[in-house]
Amino acid sequence: MLILVACQAALPTVVVAPRTAEKTFGSTPTMVTPTITSGAKETRPSNPSFVPLAPSPSVAKSSAFQTRFHPDGGLYVGDLVSLEIIAPEGADLEGKTITLTLPTAQGPQTTEARFGRYGIGGRLQANLIWVWDTSGLPAGAHTVAFSLPSLDLTWSETATLLPQEQLPPPEPQATWAIAHSRCCTVAYITHTAAERDLDQILEVIDQQAQKASQRMGVALTEPITITLLPRVLGHGGFAGQGIAVSYLDRDYIAGDEATILHHEIIHILDSRLGGDLRPAMFVEGLAVYLTGGHFKTEPLLPRAAALLPSAPGCTAWSKDLLKENDHPGCGLDRFIPLKRLIDNFYFEQHEIGYLEAGALIAYMVDAWGWERFSAFYRDIHPLKQPPILATNGATDSTADSNATQSQAVEAALQKHFHIGLAQLEQRFQQALRQQTLTPQISEDLRLTVNYYDTARRYQILLDPSAYYLTAWLMDSEEMRKRNLTADYLRRPSQPENLALETMLTAAGESLLSSNWADATSLLEGVNAVLERYPEQGLQSFAAHPLAADYLALTQLALRLGYEPQRIWLDKNRARMWATTAGPQVNELAFVRLQDSWTILSASGTMPPFTLPLVLIRPTSAWAGSYGQLHNIPLNALNGG
């Protein structure tokens, strides 16, 4: 397993033979009204009743410990299974050993692991990677026994193996493959969207690598390894010794794929230039600044101005405002003090932290020039706290530890610019107050924060392996050596996952096209469901009519043999882009008749795209192998 940090930033009724549909970087869908039967009236179903159609996630809980079985989304005979054993809050177990007894075709086998702190969240858990070989076992329930001698505790949990012949596509045929572009070595899994769109992906990778190299002033003297993930993990992108990015059709972490890829390549080049201490805020801020945005191209300083408190006489956005106007917009009062942001970067609100960091570097480069900023950035060094004398005159050795990163930045600022951190923050805020802040900029930032907070809330509740603070990212190189694909191909795919992910995807596309009204409605629907989930299960979708429609359409598509990737609703009409056994995308049209949805047509033809299909995302980084990562301090990793 690779420990990631936030960067920042992986399937027909009336069926026309499906054809491969192109999904292009920098393109997005034009929504065409589907044909419907005449006389259809707009109605809303009352008191919907939802029935689950997919198996539960592979998560088990003892009275105190939580165990997660991997791959996600169900276990099958023949899997190499990994386990996370998550300690209860406050447990004193760091370094303690847990023993597992696993059923195998050769009889019970034991293995053990130690509890440690993992992920940027530093969660206390024991990780056992590919320890349970289920080959030769019968399908059905199997008991895994756990023993924790330090607490004199034993317990057991049941894991259910599904028949191997029921493996979902494309797993039976999928394998790892390698492609080469001018700059990079690209690893992907066959029979996925990445293979379908490989030529386009390679072209964009080379374009962004060239731009990043020019902006950093660093030649690409050796290839970068890029792994295309067929599922969302974290915010979808990672950079360390190599790069990993999510590439899938139902990518619910919205952003411009070229921008995100550029961001990750900046991380690679930045790390090659080195530095004694590169604080995460400056690592991420540099990538945002040189890329010209975080998830998309954006005016960094005017946008960061929206983080300040509202000025007297400001105008809040409303749908009645014209697209372009001279009204000063209202600030959101979300500015994070620089000392706190430097010392706590990955635990602050993600989008605000990245924006503020990128805008700060833009300000510093404007004020002092690139050469002086770069000299300062490469000259930040860890400091040591001086020993503290105890009341009896003895030295308190516990205080002789690394000083905070903000103190190291303070020292470098004094050396290079003769100012302190407080003065830098004061000057930075003054520069932000001089920016032109419109109501549109403020509204877009407010919704952006809401959107990504909602996506992370979804991950915590329904796809915890994807949550960036504790994401489950495997060693891709080792996976390729063993030709293991399930850890990336499989993910939670119950109806509630599909419905909420398509809602988030639609919300993200609306946000990218500045359709804030639709984005607001979709986010309200997702949050209404999450407020009630998991206690109310699928009935949670009854809390919001839009969510109820998305779930009903998802369930109908599943019964017809499709997996929804994107859904767009227009009152009583809906369009869906869905897959069956492979990456080919089919277009479906639906109409609401009386109290239920009915399919009108299914086609293998995709419409022309004009909005980004949101294929690549940023979040985090790794370096080295699985074993090497366990002891890497958080400030030694960077992400996108």
Alpha-carbon distance of 178 to 176, in angstroms, equals 7
**Please, are residues 112 and 97 in contact by the beta-carbon 8 Å criterion?**
yes
**What is the DSSP secondary structure assignment for residue 149, as one 8-state letter?**
G
> Residue 240: what pLDDT?
78
In the chain, what are the domain boundaries?
A: 78-162
Compute φ and ψ for 607, nearest 5 degrees: -75, 165
Peptide bond before 534: cis, by omega within 30 degrees of 0?
yes
- Provide the sign of the torsion angle of the four alpha carbons 466, 471, 477, 483, taken in this order: negative
Closest to 506 (Cα-Cα) out of 233, 248, 252:
252
Higher pLDDT, 124 or 11: 124
**Please, are residues 572 and 42 in contact by the beta-carbon 8 Å criterion?**
yes
Alpha-carbon distance of 193 to 259, in angstroms, equals 20
- Within 13 Å of residue 515, how many CA atoms lie on the same side as its CB? 12
Name the fold adopted by 78-162: Immunoglobulin-like (2.60.40)
Collect contacts of 523-529 with beta carbons under 8 A, ≥24 apart.
523/447, 523/450, 523/451, 523/454, 525/550, 526/454, 526/458, 526/500, 527/454, 527/457, 529/496, 529/500
> Residue 27: what pLDDT?
34
Alpha-carbon distance of 496 to 48, in angstroms, equals 14
Q: Which helix (H) or strand (E) holds 587?
A: strand 586-593
Please give the torsion angle defined by the CA atoms of residues 464, 467, 469 and 471, in that order, rounded to the nearest 10 degrees: 70
Least confident window among 186-190, 504-508, 616-620: 616-620
Peptide bond before 71: cis, by omega within 30 degrees of 0?
yes
Peptide bond before 170: cis, by omega within 30 degrees of 0?
yes
Please state the pTM of the whole predicted model: 0.84
Residue length of the chain: 640
Buried b (16+ CB within 10 A) or exposed e, 15-24: beebeebebb
pLDDT tens-digit profile of 10-53?
A: 222 222 222 233 333 333 332 222 222 223 333 333 333 343 34
Supply 313's token pair. 């006489």
Locate all alpha helices (DSSP H) within 180-299, ordered by sequence: 193-196, 198-216, 257-273, 280-291
pLDDT tens-digit profile of 534-562?
A: 999 999 999 999 999 999 999 999 999 99
> Residue 274: what pLDDT?
86
pLDDT tens-digit profile of 466-492?
A: 999 999 988 999 999 999 999 999 999
